[in-house]
Amino acid sequence: MKLKLPEIYFTTRSYGLTAVLVLVYLLGFINVFFYHTANILLLLFLLAFGLDVFVLFRNKNGVLAKRITGAKLSNGDENIVSIQVENNYGFKAHITIIDELPIQFQIRNFERKIILESGKENFIRYSLRPVQRGEYHFGAVRVFVASALNLIERRFSFEQGVMLPVYPSFIQMRKYELLAIHNKLTAGGIKKIRRIGQTSEFDQIKEYVAGDDIRSVNWKATARRDKLMVNKYQDEKSQSVYCLVDMGRNMKMPFEQMALLDYAINASLVISNIAHLKNDKPGLITFTHEIKSHIAAERRNSQMIRISETLYNQQTNFSESDFERLYMHVKRTINQRSLLLLFTNFESLSSLKRQLKYLKQIAKQHLLVVIFFENTELKTVLTKNVGNTFEIYYKTIAEKFELEKRLIIKELSACGIQSIYTTPQNLSVNTINKYLELKARGLV
């Protein structure tokens, strides 16, 4: 039978009192008065120590603690974690809480101190921002409790060995989903797109309200009802919207500790959900030097779960992407004209031209939108005032790279290919804007 030792830890006060006793005993060699004083102090110290041990260990469940989290964490977002602490002792407890966080966060000094009255409970809240998908293993919640004497601390351990998966940003997805349901996408930065032409199906005749398009007034119905009536249209439905996610080495560049690939994965989840809410059919293709995954565009209730699980499990070694293979796969598997949102990154015009012939072939059969990223570091350099020759040279190089990005946009436009040039943090908003714009213009 293994002997389990009590989890006792000496406090700073204990070490201080011990040092005083040793000093008084040393003085006892000089004067017998100090020797007797040291014996009295030692007796008092042992009595206080024994009393502290007794009050802390007589209650088996003196303190209870529980970590409260969701079933999974959202990548790239601030996830709230709570620790519930309950004091079952008959006295005010001095409590120190240490949560053993997953190794991915590299936080080794997490500690919270509280004073909790008898019979009360408290919630310690903090946030975690994961920057990569995968399994995150939490250690134990360590709770150290001391009484008013504060000579020793008793350690409790709770919630040991908990694993939470980090999924693509479902917090961001739910945010835009809620705005879309309540028709308030403009509150999330989504532009209000004016519908061009008649690309919608007739739905019903309704009474005019402020904001309706006066061009849709139904004058016959207005005459019959003696009220201003307008025709209401609904968007064409069941159109295929594919997210093509490049998982090659050009997507390895980091921004705010997260790779461009993970920004693209988060945005793919968001735009797929918006397309699903708009009654379109979302689909997914991920690729590097080979096709990694393919989810056919479908309109069924489980589609978003399939896309979320597939994006969560994507692994890559950031090898060179094969756009020819992507073109052949799209040609073979997607027969209906679809909207293809290609998340990739081109840093130079020459890198685009190497792949342009395949993009042009894809654009012949589908509406292709190439989404690539603005280098925010270059933007910082371009707006900075120069003070010496080196900084002038550095800024000139930055201007050259920025010009390359503009030439990429121009080249894609000349080939009839739509594009989005965006910063990583605005990727989801700009992608939704482009999707709604294309729907309004009747291009898909």
Let me know whether 133 and 259 are in one domain.
Answer: no
**pLDDT at residue 407 in the model:** 93
**pLDDT at residue 259 in the model:** 93
**pLDDT at residue 5 in the model:** 47
Place of tokens 């295929």: 240
**What distance in Å separates the CA atoms of residue 264 and residue 114, rounded to the nearest whole number?**
41
**pLDDT at residue 176 in the model:** 85
Let me know whether 215 and 229 are in one domain.
Answer: yes
**pLDDT at residue 180 in the model:** 66
Can you give the residue range of the structural domain that contains 370? 170-194+236-440
Let me know whether 218 and 185 are in one domain.
Answer: no
Between these two residues, 427 and 203, which has the higher pLDDT value? 427
**pLDDT at residue 210 in the model:** 75
Which residue blocks in 245-300 are alpha helix, DSSP H? 260-277
Let me know whether 84 and 42 are in one domain.
Answer: no
Let me know whether 308 and 422 are in one domain.
Answer: yes
**pLDDT at residue 109 in the model:** 87
Q: pLDDT-derived band of residue 50, with 50, 70 and 90 as boundaries?
A: confident
Between these two residues, 383 and 367, which has the higher pLDDT value? 367
DSSP 8-state symbol, 386? P
**What distance in Å separates the CA atoms of residue 380 and residue 204, rounded to the nearest whole number?**
52
Let me know whether 296 and 411 are in one domain.
Answer: yes
Cβ density class 93-124: b for 16+ within 10 Å, e for less: bbbbbbbbbbeeeeeeeeeeeeebeeeeebeb
Let me know whether 260 and 379 are in one domain.
Answer: yes
For the range 205-209, what are the long-range contacts, defined as Cβ-Cβ under 8 Å and sequence gap of 24 or more?
205/229, 205/230, 205/231, 205/232, 206/230, 206/232
Q: Report yes or no on 3 lying in a domain.
A: no
pLDDT in tens, 185-199: 555 555 555 544 444
Let me know whether 155 and 85 are in one domain.
Answer: yes
Q: What is the largest CA-CA distance in the chain?
A: 116
Q: Report yes or no on 2 lying in a domain.
A: no
Let me know whether 131 and 219 are in one domain.
Answer: no
- The count of structural domains within the chain is 4
Mean pLDDT over 87-108 rounds to 93
**pLDDT at residue 233 in the model:** 61
Write out the DSSP string of 375-397: -HHHHHHHTSPP-SHHHHHHHHH
Round the average pLDDT of the chain to a whole number and report it.
Answer: 86
Q: pLDDT-derived band of residue 369, with 50, 70 and 90 as boundaries?
A: very high
Mean pLDDT over 367-373 rounds to 95
Q: pLDDT-derived band of residue 380, with 50, 70 and 90 as boundaries?
A: confident
**pLDDT at residue 294 in the model:** 97
**Do 154 and 126 contact (CB within 8 A), yes or no?**
no
Q: Report yes or no on 268 lying in a domain.
A: yes
Q: Report yes or no on 1 lying in a domain.
A: no
pLDDT in tens, 333-367: 999 999 999 999 998 899 999 999 999 999 999 99
141 SS3 class: strand
**What distance in Å separates the CA atoms of residue 413 and residue 418, rounded to the nearest whole number?**
6
Let me know whether 325 and 339 are in one domain.
Answer: yes
Q: Report yes or no on 79 lying in a domain.
A: yes
pLDDT in tens, 239-285: 899 999 999 999 998 888 899 999 999 999 999 999 998 889 999 99
DSSP 8-state symbol, 387? -
Partners of residue 386 on adjacent β-strands = none
Q: Report yes or no on 379 lying in a domain.
A: yes
Q: Report yes or no on 50 lying in a domain.
A: yes
Whether the per-residue pLDDT at 108 is higher than 60: the answer is yes
Let me know whether 259 and 291 are in one domain.
Answer: yes
Whether the per-residue pLDDT at 18 is higher than 70: the answer is yes
Whether the per-residue pLDDT at 81 is higher than 80: the answer is yes
**pLDDT at residue 420 in the model:** 95
pLDDT in tens, 206-224: 787 776 777 778 888 888 8
Let me know whether 142 and 284 are in one domain.
Answer: no
Global pTM reads 0.81
The CATH number of whichever domain residue 426 belongs to comes to 3.40.50.410
